Amino acid sequence: MTDYNFAYLDEQTKRMIRRAILKGLAIPGYQVPFASREMPMPYGWGTGGVQVSAATLTPEDVFKVIDQGADDTTNAVSIRKFFQATAGVDTTEETEEATVIQTRHRIPEAPLNEDQILVYQVPIPEPLRFLEPRETETRKMHSLEEYGLMHVKLYEDIARHGAIATAYAYPVKVEGRYVMDPSPIPKFDNPKMTMPAIQLFGAGREQRIYALPPYTKVVSLDFEDYPFEASKADHSCELCGADDSYLDEVIVDDQGGRIFVCSDTAYCAARQAAQSDAAAAQYEEISA
């Protein structure tokens, strides 16, 4: 740990990121440019989230990292180890125990509280980028609040597919002003974004930071006759039986067999543990 400055980044870089975070919180949904640094991992591996976490972590924090909901995938494990080594923070897999949670593409199932901070890894922060490739133009569109193009895109979804087919990175409007990319979380998670915790978004390659203060109004774009719907696979979890959590489809053999399991591994594991405890207690009761 003594080989690095606390949380890896130098102090001047952290100050620059911290100033960007504060302006982001003051202008919810607006993408603040920042001078993203080279990190000891490739772009696309969460360098934006890592830099935001580095500028946010304190020695007392308990840090959790999830990748598509899972604590045990490569990206999550390596980022967790990175901050264990460079910041000396405690880490956890349990959502309730964590004070800072870095996430790739999911919001945990367990509701977050006021003392928690959720840091998102963002690949493309600009919601209009696939509609308008020029940064000069998208910047002007945001300044003029000119979001008609996004509604046309959603309308074309309906015209072609009969419904809004956008299933992840579903655009939201923040406090009635900025259209924001919620990062590629499934649209199932969109309604959770009005929450008591602070949400910070970091895009390393694209050099943008944005933020949502607690209880900020976040509304998924839709039409009166085609209202937004937070959808998930129409199954329950094969492992814990949950029917209210977001599910991953898992192929289990080469015969077309498939199961659906919770994408939030901590949520699923806690439910399974509770069930086996309950079963054990029941067994003891019967055998007593």
Shortest spacing between CB 16 and other proteins, in angstroms: 7
Shortest spacing between CB 72 and other proteins, in angstroms: 28
> Where do we find the tokens 């967790």?
80
Per-residue tokens: 23: 């302006």
Instruction: Select 99 or 245, whichever has its Cβ closest to other proteins.
Output: 99
Instruction: Select 34 or 246, whichever has its Cβ closest to other proteins.
Output: 34
- C-alpha dihedral (174, 178, 179, 183), degrees to nearest 10: -70
Compute the 3-state secondary structure of the chain and give helix, strand, coil in percent, each to the nearest 5: 35, 20, 45
The residues annotated with a catalytic role in the active site are: 29, 237, 240, 262, 268
Per-residue tokens: 264: 């939030």
* CA 1/CA 81 separation, integer angstroms: 12
Strand ranges across the sheet with 100-104: 32-33, 208-212, 198-203, 117-121, 100-104, 62-67, 90-91
Shortest spacing between CB 194 and other proteins, in angstroms: 10
Instruction: Select 22 or 273, whichever has its Cβ closest to other proteins.
Output: 22
Shortest spacing between CB 151 and other proteins, in angstroms: 20
Give the residues across from 67 on adjacent strands.
Answer: 70, 104
Per-residue tokens: 107: 């919001």
Give the residues across from 66 on adjacent strands.
Answer: 103
Instruction: Select 197 or 237, whichever has its Cβ closest to other proteins.
Output: 197
Shortest spacing between CB 178 and other proteins, in angstroms: 7
Contact call for residues 122 and 46 (beta carbons, < 8 A): no
Instruction: Select 18 or 232, whichever has its Cβ closest to other proteins.
Output: 18
- Which positions touch other proteins (CB under 8 A)? 5-7, 11-12, 14-16, 18-28, 30, 32-33, 55-60, 139-140, 142-144, 175, 177-178, 196, 198, 211-217
Beta strands in the chain (DSSP E): 32-33, 62-67, 90-91, 100-104, 117-121, 172-174, 178-180, 198-203, 208-212, 218-220, 247-251, 258-262
Contact call for residues 20 and 209 (beta carbons, < 8 A): yes
- Best CA proximity match to 190, nearest among 160, 220, 166, 213: 220
Shortest spacing between CB 209 and other proteins, in angstroms: 10
Per-residue tokens: 152: 């046309």
Instruction: Select 47 or 138, whichever has its Cβ closest to other proteins.
Output: 138
